[in-house]
Structure 1
Amino acid sequence: MQARPRVQLDFIDALRGVAIIGVLLSHAQRNVEMYQAMGHQASMSGWLSRYAAQGARGVQLFFVVSALTLFLSAGKRGGEPHEWLNFYIRRFFRIAPMFYIAFGVYCLAPVVMKGQALPPPGTLLGTLGFINGWNPAWLLGANDVVPGGWSIGVEMSFYIVFPLVFLALRDFPKAFAALCVILLIDVLTWPALVAHPPIADGDLWERFVFVWLPNQLPIFLCGICAYFILFGQTGALTRFFHEGDRRANAALFALGVLTLLVVPQLTDDPRALFLYGLAFGLITLCLYRQPYRWLVTVPMRHIGKISFSGYLVHFFMLQVARKLLARVHAGDHLSPDMYFGATVVVALAGTVVLATITYHLVEVPGQALGKRLIQRLAARRAPAPDRTTIQRT
């Protein structure tokens, strides 16, 4: 018998909030140390720089949560007429409206207002078609189209294969076996793939191999395994994460957090990505059992709710923060660590405000448009009423 999910999964929104804050931290660190936001070369404290840079793994936390919620949603809609067509419509209208507006702001506006050149056609079309993660040449200029567009391309690529994944992985043993097999393949083939790039730019190829879907797929599978543990079976694991000992749950949660703290200090190996995915999966399970009040707060849940808009607008707000701090000559008076902190505070506050607006003005209407399209298609497919029967009645 399938475990019955809770009505409210507030911890999911909280995790999304953590994810977007992590991503913002990583980009604020780059502004200070790579892009000379202070007006000169600067270096943050080693420990702070290292942890802030690893905030980029918030993208992988998004992937874990996305896979879990996709399976949960697909399971509830099983048997729906034309369920996979409806799935693609919902996913497209969940992502595309805000993404294309971001394209207008980040790409088209500079062309019109500043005379900048458009990115190459392949990069442009690959990014707008959400397939930029399948060609290294398209990936190179993807951030010139929409900053952060690579991760959205990976997410949309997962949507493409999702029906096959959902139909193939029907229980935890199959999902766990798939995780182990693909994880092993990715770990073992990484050195050979990096050592023999098929293109001249070896650095670009290494980046491509890191971000493309086959390398990110184990992260999604961590979320799928978490789904089956919570909702897909009635074994010991399910019972534990539904009603097990809270002290043991807290210990496992601490183990997941400790992994996130220790791994950045031990290695820079890109394959450490998978340790983050496993840690995120464990933390997700523990928060289902005990949504800690210090983390699953109303503000954090709100940030998670608007996190997709937040992901797209935080790049803009980082530039706003840079200009505001430049006006007060913060780069001359603050240490790199303090400047980083000020950047985060200003950019995060602005991101929450702007993303809240775009969530209500763009995302919600976009999703509503997708629902109306599904309803119209269903109405067209419905059989016409029998006129004879109508006349008789």
Structure 2
Amino acid sequence: MQARPKLQLDFIDALRGLAIIAVLVSHAQRNVEIYQAMGHPARMSPWLSRYADQGARGVQLFFVVSALTLFLSAGKRLGESGEWVNFYIRRVFRIAPMFYVAFGVYCLAPVLLKGHALPPVGTLLGTLTFTNGWSPAWLLGANDVVPGGWSIGVEMSFYIVFPLVFLFIRDFPRALGALLLFLALDVFLGPVLVANPPIADADLWERFMFVWLPNQLPIFLYGICAYFILFTDTGPLSRFFHAGNRAANAALFAGAGLVLLVVPQATADSRAVYLYGGAFALIALCLNRQPYRWLVNPLLCHVGKISFSGYLTHFFMLQVARKLLDKVHAGTRLGPDAYFVATVAVALAGTIVLATITYRFVEVPGQALGKRLIQALAARREAGRRTLGDGAA
């Protein structure tokens, strides 16, 4: 028996909004400490630097939310004619239009306007086909194609295997079992693989081992577990996260928040990513029960709706922020922490404006084109069935 799903899923958009803000924060920190945006070497306060650096885990928050919503969407469309062909069409037209616009801005424009060299062919093709996470060599220079393209490659790789995942994992026990299995493999076998690189560049191999899909799969599985708790009857868990004690729900929410506060200061081990994934899934569960208005609000939900465009445009807006701050000599007037805050404020405001525009004029038309293609294929299938029916008669 299925639990009655809540119709209000604003918390999903709010979580996406938090994810893109966190990612922007992490890249602002890199601008200050690595790329010398202030015009000279600078170090932020250690505690602030560690928190900002771990804003990169916003990518994993995207993965948790993505897996949850994919299962929800696929469950609603189960039995649809051509369901998996339609699934891939929706995914491609959701991602590709804005991604290729970003490719034109970040890669082609510098080549055509400034005479920059194209990235290596393997990296270029790997990024454009969303397979840059399949080979260490294709990761090299990937940010010269589309900044942040590695995470989109991971997402698209998950889409490729998603039908198998959806058909095999049909209930919460299987989802939990798969999560525990892949957690054990990645936590214990992962370091062994990192320590024995099959290529000369050990640093590149370590980076590849972090971003490839098997290492990120537990993060998606956290989202799948959350889906089954929220949208199928898993007994006490489902009942609690739909109508359980509010004080207990708040305590769990606070506990997940505490993980996000403590882990960045406690360890830099890459395997801590799984602690973040678990905390994100728990926060999603708690927000379904109690969508706190300070978090689930119209502004953050809007940022979540435009978050894919925001992910691709925030790199550009960080450079805009750097130039604007240069004009007011912020690099000499502000300390590193204040400069970082100013960078975040300017880049975030610009990203919201620019991403709202690209969402409206690139993403929405792209998704609409995908829907029209699905409708055209459905009409063709229906015409074919009618032809066969007429022939049989």
TM range (shorter): over 0.9
For 1:247 and 1:17, the matched residues in 2 are separated by 25
- Pair 321,387 (structure 1): closer, same or farther in 2 beyond 3 Å: closer
Structure 1 equivalent of residue 347 of structure 2 = 347
1:177 shift after superposition: 0.3
In structure 2, what residue type is equivalent to 1:379? A
Task: Tell me the equivalent position of 2:176.
Answer: 176
Residue number in structure 2 paired with 1:153:
153
- AA partner of residue 349 (structure 2): A
Q: Structure 2 unaligned segments of length 5 or more: list them.
A: none
Cα deviation code 1:156-201 (max 9, x no counterpart): 0000000000000000000000000010000001221111100100
Query: Deviation of residue 104 (structure 1)?
Result: 0.1
- Tell me the matched-pair count: 389
Opposite residue 108 of structure 2, the aligned amino acid is: L
Alignment-derived partner of residue 244 in structure 1: 244
Residue deviations 1:49-81, cap 9 Å, x none?
000000000000000000000000000000001
CA contact (8 A) 2:103 2:145 kept: yes
Determine the structure 1 residue equivalent to 2:125. Answer: 125
Q: Distance in 1 between matches of 2:353 and 2:195?
A: 45
AA aligned to 2:369 is L
Shift of 1:296: 0.4
Distance in 2 (CA, whole Å) between partners of 1:234 and 1:346 is 45
Q: Is 1:212 matched up with 2:212? A: yes
Written as runs of structure 1 = structure 2, the 5 A alignment for 1:101-116 is 101-116=101-116
Tell me, yes or no, if the aligned pair for 1:171 and 1:233 is still in contact at 8 Å.
no
If the length of structure 2 is used for normalisation, what is the TM-score? 0.98
Indicate whether 1:222 and 2:230 are aligned.
no
Distance in 1 (CA, whole Å) between partners of 2:209 and 2:388 is: 61
- Name the counterpart of 1:78: 78
Contact 2:172 2:234 in 1 (8 A): no
* Counterpart for residue 34 of structure 1: 34
Offset, 1:388: 12
Equivalent in the alignment of 2:334: 334
State the Cα deviation string for residues 352-377 of structure 1 (Å, max 9, x = none). Answer: 00000000000000000000000001
Q: Note the 1:1-393 alignment, pairs <5 A.
A: 1-383=1-383
* Distance change >3 Å, CA 388–CA 122, structure 1 → 2: closer
Contact 1:94/1:367 (8 A) holds in 2: yes
| CA-CA distance at 1:382 after TM superposition | 1.1
Structure 2 Cα separation of the partners of residues 55 and 97 of structure 1: 26
Per the alignment, in what secondary structure is the counterpart of residue 383 of structure 2? coil
Cα distance in 1 between the residues matched to 2:357 and 2:225: 35
Query: What is the TM-score with the length of structure 1 in the denominator?
Result: 0.98
- Asked if 2 retains the 8 angstrom alpha-carbon contact of 1:172 and 1:233, the reply is no
Give identity over the alignment, percent.
77
Task: Kindly provide the amino acid, as one letter, of the partner of residue 322 in structure 1.
Answer: R
Distance 2:248 2:29 in 1: 35
Deviations along 1:308-342, one digit per CA (max 9) or x if unpaired, are 00000000000000000011110000000000000
RMSD between aligned residues? 1.2
More divergent stretch after superposition (260-269 vs 170-179): 260-269
Kindly indicate whether the alpha-carbon contact (under 8 Å) linking 1:124 and 1:145 is maintained by their aligned counterparts in 2: yes
Specify every segment of 5 or more residues in structure 1 that has no aligned partner in the other structure, as ranges: none
Report the alpha carbon displacement of residue 225 of structure 1 after superposing the two structures with TM: 0.2
Report the alpha carbon displacement of residue 233 of structure 1 after superposing the two structures with TM: 1.6
For 2:127, what is the secondary structure of its paired residue? helix
Alignment deviations for residues 98-132 of structure 1 (CA, whole Å, 9 cap, x no partner): 00000000000000000000001110000000000
Matches of 1:147 and 1:8, distance apart in 2:
33
**Deviations along 1:225-263, whole A, 9 cap, x unmatched?**
000011122400000000000000000000000001111
Superposed CA deviations along residues 13-69 of structure 1, whole A, max 9, x for unmatched, are: 000000000000000000000000000000000110000000000000000000000
Cα deviation, 1:253-300, whole Å, max 9, x if unaligned, reads: 000000011111111110001000000010010000000000001100
Q: Letter of the aligned partner of 1:73 in structure 2?
A: S
How much does 1:8 deviate?
2.2
Structure 1 distance, partners of 2:221, 2:345, is 34
Q: Say if 1:194 and 1:386 are closer, same or farther in 2 by CA, change over 3 A.
A: closer
Change (3 A) 1:378 1:50: same
SS at match of 1:276: helix
Does the C-alpha gap of structure 1 residues 388 and 72 become closer, same or farther in structure 2, counting only changes over 3 Å?
Answer: closer
Letter in 1 for 2:205: W
Q: Secondary structure at the match of 1:39?
A: coil
Runs of 4+ in 1 over 2 A off after TM superposition: 383-389
